[in-house]
């Protein structure tokens, strides 16, 4: 029996959600076609208004204990990019400047700028206590900041990332066991492994030292259910399954996992509601539209890179940031770092996705969409930027899930609702819009 902190949902909770979802679908079925079209339409303008408002609010007035502002930048910017839009130059500059202030002097990004954050007056005396919060670089906010800057995409944005220091930071987060810690003396888990490997891969600083033994750790987290847990002995969960599988693909060790069991576990997480749950016996939630559909997509799309001893890294070339990659290619770690994560453009044939894409789109559009802007977990819940980002990411995965070729257009039958619902395609491993990924990949391959 595995140790678990899971509280299984009660039958009452489950049937309440089922009723809410059923009601949404019944309302849809009972209204005239014109109203149906409106209900199934992605409310682009309202989503944009909601997202832009959020980005404007990221200034210094944000609450003292808020330590995830790079995440908010990423969730909002990625959602905007998915909608095929971008921010104006002034807002882009402000965002780059803000994220630069989150970058630590020794690399990585913290949850906010590292200056004194606030002061409080004590109620029972007249003295003033000044609390200084130094934000600590953290792998999760580092991943968010890097993805946000890649999504902005300009040279200024990409150049603002100190890759040399980033490499030092990632090495510092690497535990002797091979896994990664979220922050200095922080917890080791599958999220940390994914965020570290994803960042290193995107920035073209991935080498043998970072890869060493990380696959063993991920392997130790695959559970008897088939999915991947956050740490050994815990329960399989969609978020960690995404992180673990994506990491294994990036380090070219995916075949070490029991993929049949993993895919089996993932597909059974799609419920009759159409949406996915994060783990067995829990409630459907819009954010798992990405976490649970992403792994299958990633697995389908990604080339299996062969070892190429001629690659820059195997030749021990020194990168412009001074990061030496000498001796990184060897028999025990046959990774072609030039190719990892590249989406295949071979073949034009369709393929059948692993999940029911239309049912998932129906759940996202009717149950997770706030018509006034933003997306959410389920009916009765409120919108937020996290759910907006991952519901839209999941929607994009569905729309392109029948295509083998990244350049082909989705077939009308793959897109639920009007064609204006079509989002930009994403890279399923990094979760950035595909053309931003290609631009960044090219930029960091040059430098
Ligand atoms: C890149 C990165 C940092 C990825 C994070 C991946 C991710 C979403 C992990 C999920 C963590 C977790 C155990 C949530 C359970 O919450 P819950 O018990 O409230 O939800 P549940 O009932 O749906 O399981
Ligand atoms: Zn959620």
Residue 237 catalytic?
A: yes
Q: Is the pLDDT of residue 432 over 60?
A: yes
Whether the pLDDT of residue 326 is over 50: the answer is no
Q: Is 188 a residue whose pLDDT tops 90?
A: yes
- Of all residues in the chain, the percent with pLDDT exceeding 90 is 71
Q: How far apart are CA 406 and CA 345, in angstroms?
A: 6
244 within 8 A of 228, measured Cβ to Cβ: yes
Q: Classify each residue of 225-247 as buried b or exposed e, where b means 16 or more C-beta atoms within 10 Å of its C-beta.
A: bbbbbbbbebbbbbbbbbbbbbb
SS3 content of the chain, % helix, strand, coil (to 5): 45, 10, 45
Q: How many angstroms does the Cα of residue 287 sit away from the middle of ligand 2?
A: 4
Q: Which candidate, 355, 360, 353, 356, places its Cα nearest to that of 275?
A: 360
Residue nearest (by alpha carbon) to ligand 1 atom 20:
278
Q: Is 87 in the pocket of ligand 1 (CB under 6 A)?
A: no
Per-residue pLDDT band for 371 (boundaries 50, 70, 90) equals very high
Write the CB contacts of 352 (distance below 8 Å, at least 6 apart in sequence): 402
CB-based contact 171:223 (threshold 8 Å):
no
DSSP 8-state class, residue 131: E
Whether 377 is a known active-site residue: answer: yes
Please provide residue 170's backbone torsions phi and psi, each rounded to the nearest 5 degrees. -65, -40
The string of pLDDT tens digits covering residues 116-151 is 344 444 344 445 554 445 689 999 999 999 999 999
Whose atoms come closest to the Cα of 237: which ligand? 1
Residue 288 appears among annotated catalytic residues: yes
Please check whether residue 214 is in contact with residue 206, taking contact to mean a CB–CB distance below 8 angstroms. no
State the Cα–Cα distance between residues 99 and 167, nearest whole angstrom: 18
Type and span of the H or E element at 433:
strand 432-433
pLDDT for 401 equals: 85
Among the listed residues 388, 399, 386, 418, the one whose alpha carbon sits nearest the alpha carbon of residue 360: 399
- Beta carbons within 8 Å of 73's beta carbon, 6+ residues apart: 55, 58, 95, 98, 99, 144, 145, 148
pLDDT for position 415? 93
With a 6 Å cutoff on the Cβ, whether 387 touches ligand 1 is no
The answer, yes or no, to whether residue 325 has pLDDT greater than 50, is: no
Average pLDDT score, the chain: 85
Ligand nearest to the CA of 231: 1
Residue 92 DSSP one-character state? H
Contacts of 49 (CB under 8 A, 6+ apart): 373
pLDDT on residue 350: 61
Please give the residue that has the higher pLDDT: either 139 or 64.
139
* Per-residue pLDDT, 379: 98
Is residue 278 within 6 Å of ligand 1 at its C-beta? yes
Residue 143 CA, closest ligand 1 atom number = 1
| Predicted local confidence at residue 59, as pLDDT | 63
Catalytic-residue membership of 221: no
93/124: higher pLDDT? 93
Task: Indicate whether residue 305 lines ligand 1 (CB < 6 A).
Answer: no
Confidence of residue 408 (pLDDT cuts 50, 70, 90): confident
Instruction: Judge if the beta carbon of residue 282 lies within 6 A of ligand 1.
Output: yes
Name the residue of 180, 181, 239 to mutate for ligand 1: max ligand atoms within 8 A of Cβ: 239
195 lines ligand 1 (CB under 6 A): yes
**pLDDT one-digit tens code per residue, 66-81:** 789 999 999 999 999 9
Rounded average pLDDT over 224-253: 97
- What are the structure tokens assigned to 249, written together? 């693909």
* Closest approach atom of ligand 1 to CA 6: 18
Beta bridge partners of 343: 302
**Which tokens go with 171?**
């090495």
The verdict on whether 285 is a catalytic residue reads yes
When comparing pLDDT for 320 and 211, which is higher? 211
For 3, which DSSP code? -
Cα–Cα nearest to 392, from 139, 21, 11, 82: 82
1-15, 116-130, 260-274, 329-343: least confidently modelled range: 329-343
């Amino acid at each position: 029996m595995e140790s678990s902190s899971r509280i299984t949902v009660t039958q009452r909770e489950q049937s309440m959600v089922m009723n809410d979802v059923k009601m949404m679908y019944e309302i849809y079925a009972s209204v005239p076609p014109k109203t149906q079209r409106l209900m199934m339409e992605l409310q682009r303008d309202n989503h944009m208004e909601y997202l832009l408002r959020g980005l404007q609010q990221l200034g210094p007035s944000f609450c003292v204990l808020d330590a995830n502002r790079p995440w908010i930048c990423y969730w909002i910017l990625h959602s905007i990019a998915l909608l095929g839009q971008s921010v104006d130059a002034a807002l882009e500059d402000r965002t780059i400047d803000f994220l630069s202030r989150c970058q630590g002097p020794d690399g990585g990004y913290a949850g906010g700028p590292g200056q004194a954050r606030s002061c409080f007056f004590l109620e029972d005396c007249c003295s003033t206590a000044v609390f200084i919060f130094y934000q600590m670089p953290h792998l999760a906010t580092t991943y968010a900041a890097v993805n946000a800057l890649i999504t902005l995409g300009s040279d200024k944005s990409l150049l603002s990332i100190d890759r040399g220091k980033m490499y030092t930071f990632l090495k510092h987060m690497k535990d002797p066991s091979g896994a990664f810690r979220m922050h200095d003396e922080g917890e080791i888990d599958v999220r940390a492994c994914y965020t570290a490997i994803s960042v290193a891969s995107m920035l073209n600083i991935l080498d043998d030292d970072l890869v060493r033994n990380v696959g063993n750790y991920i392997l130790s987290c695959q559970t008897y259910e088939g999915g991947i847990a956050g740490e050994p002995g815990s329960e399989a969960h969609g978020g960690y399954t995404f992180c673990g599988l994506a990491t294994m693909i990036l380090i070219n060790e995916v075949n070490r996992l029991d993929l049949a069991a993993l895919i089996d576990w993932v597909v059974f997480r799609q419920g009759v509601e159409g949406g996915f749950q994060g783990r067995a016996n829990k409630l459907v939630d819009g954010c798992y539209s990405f976490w649970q559909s992403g792994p299958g997509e990633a697995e389908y799309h990604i080339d299996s890179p062969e070892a190429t001893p001629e690659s820059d890294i195997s030749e021990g070339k020194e990168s412009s940031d001074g990061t030496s990659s000498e001796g990184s290619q060897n028999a025990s770690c046959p990774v072609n770092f030039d190719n990892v994560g590249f989406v295949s453009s071979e073949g034009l044939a369709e393929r059948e996705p692993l999940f029911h894409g239309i049912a998932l789109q129906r759940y996202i559009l009717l149950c997770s969409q706030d018509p006034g802007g933003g997306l959410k977990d389920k009916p009765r819940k409120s919108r937020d930027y996290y759910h907006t980002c991952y519901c839209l990411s999941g929607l994009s995965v569905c729309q392109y899930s029948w295509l083998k070729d990244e350049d082909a257009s989705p077939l009308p039958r793959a897109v639920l609702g009007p064609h204006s619902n079509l989002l930009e395609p994403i890279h399923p491993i990094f979760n950035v819009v595909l053309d931003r990924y290609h631009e960044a990949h090219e930029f960091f391959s040059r430098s």
